Amino acid sequence: MSFQEAGGRVPLIAGNWKMYKTSLEGAAFVRALARELGPGLRGRDVVVAPAFTGLREAVHAAEGTGIAVCAQDVFWEAEGAYTGEVSATMLADLGVTTVIIGHSERRALFGETDESVAKKVRAALDHGLQAIMCVGESEGQRDEGQTESVLSRQVPAGLAMAREAEMANVAIAYEPIWAIGTGRTATPVMAEEAVAFVRTQVEVSLGARGAEIVRVLYGGSVRPDNIDDLMAQPDIDGVLVGGASLDVAAFARIVRFVGA
């Protein structure tokens, strides 16, 4: 469901499982999460992102629960001689609704570029998938005061092939690389400043309406003990959760953040 369909910027809580959980483990997790949350998912969107091998089982387990299933990456071509890649067409065929694009680990370990991010965002939108586009600075870049210069490059570049009205189907996850998997977290004020700046870059690139309807998330050591403070910030529309999304109780508490 897009923002426009939902009538506002509904909070988005996304769990990125990275390279954890077999297909059976993932399906069991989805069923357990659905039991834990019960029918009370109104007012927020919840997605989980298994590895490619677990997508089908997770989709089946999520049927009728209100939980959506997200892929961790996508290729920009619909088909072709691209060994090892998975297209948006294939993901949509499985019942996947959303895809993470440009995660910092993809950028750092696998050579993801701003150009490839833009092409993947375009492919996702063309095939009816919602995109969670990741941006963020390294520790060195933050220490050198380059946070805004990094974001002012990554955001417009990643959205270069998107259109203003399509921002209802795009979320941008600000993930300070120095806070991912380290236990360090940007303070709520730091996170809010960066997220607000991301929104200004959307407005510069795609207009005021695009900035109004895009969801901007925070990602970086999100935990049950900091979710309420993060979600109390006016510009933070949700979170991209790593390690804490692997535990049912922890992730359910994040989904149930206080202050919706």
Catalytic residues: 103, 175
Going 145 to 146 to 151 to 156, the CA torsion angle's sign is positive
Q: Which amino acid is at 166?
A: E
For the chain, give the secondary structure using H, E and C. Answer: CCHHHHCCCCCEEEEECCCCCCHHHHHHHHHHHHHHHCCCCCCCEEEEECCHHHHHHHHHHHCCCCEEEEECCCECCCCCCCCCCCEHHHHHHHCCCEEEECCHHHHHHHCCCHHHHHHHHHHHHHCCCEEEEEECCCHHHHHCCCHHHHHHHHHHHHCCCCCHHHHHHEEEEECCHHHCCCCCCCCHHHHHHHHHHHHHHHHHHHCHHHHHHCEEEEECCCCCCCHHHHHCCCCCCEEEECHHHHCHHHHHHHHCCCCC
Tokens 């390294």 belong to 138
- The CA distance from 150 to 223, in Å, is 26
